[in-house]
Amino acid sequence: MLPNRLAPAAAAITPAVTKHRVASLAAVPDIVNAPSVRASLVVIDDSRTERTLLRVRLEETGCFEVIGEADNGSEGIEVVERLQPELVVLDLSNMDGLDVLSELRDVAPNAVVTILSGYLSPGVRSAALARGASACLDKNASLQRLVDDLMLHAFGEPPSGVAAS
């Protein structure tokens, strides 16, 4: 886990064990180290502000290219099916995220899906992982912590040349 100097430790939800990584990037270390390689990503979150903040910060790393966004689950499924991203970030708040997660796994079985939530009970976390989520991350963590954790879950470690917080 990468250090987090901004979010309170007591409020952190620790990420679960990663089941999937971006195979085309993580499998070839020389490609991961190349600064021009970027993972395609779709962000599904009902908050436009949070989507925008996350998109901008992810793209600033040079490791991610946000190719689509959606503000609800049904739109997210359509966007993911059409664009077939390598990564999907799915907010569970204010939508039936577990059902959306199951459908995402059907329409894009090779995508790495990471769950964001302000609070995940152990039961919801277990259900999300059982339905194919690669990790469950705390939406209340600092923006930099979220980006660091997404890099960790997508690539196994931040690609060289990318500074972790």
pLDDT in tens, the chain (165 residues): 333 333 333 333 333 334 455 544 444 334 344 445 688 999 999 899 999 999 999 999 888 999 999 999 999 999 999 999 999 999 986 557 788 998 999 999 999 999 988 887 888 888 889 888 988 888 888 899 988 888 887 777 655 555 544
- The pLDDT score that the predictor gives to residue 160 is 52
CA separation for the pair 76, 91 (Å, rounded):
11
Residue 138 lies inside a defined structural domain of this protein: yes
Alpha-carbon span 151 to 14, nearest angstrom: 15
CA dist 92 and 90 (Å) reads 6
pLDDT reported for residue 27: 41
Let me know if residue 163 belongs to a domain. Answer: no
Q: Taking each helix axis from N to C terminus, what angle separates 97-107 and 122-130, rounded to the nearest 10 degrees?
A: 10
Domain that holds residue 100: 18-155
Token pair in block for residue 31 = 């490609």
pLDDT for 70? 95
CA dihedral 51, 85, 102, 23 (to 10 degrees): -120
Q: Is residue 12 domain-resident?
A: no
What is the model's pLDDT at position 33? 47
DSSP codes of every residue in 112-135: EEEEEES---HHHHHHHHHTT-SE
- 128 assigned to some structural domain: yes
Residue 68 burial (CB count, 10 A) = 19
What does the pLDDT read at residue 159? 52
56 is a domain residue: yes
- For the chain, the domain total comes to 1
The CA-based diameter of the chain, rounded to the nearest angstrom, is 40
CATH code where residue 59 lies: 3.40.50.2300
Q: What is the pLDDT of residue 86?
A: 93
Q: Residue 65: what are its φ and ψ, rounded to 5°?
A: -125, 110
**Predicted local distance difference test score (pLDDT) of residue 5:** 30
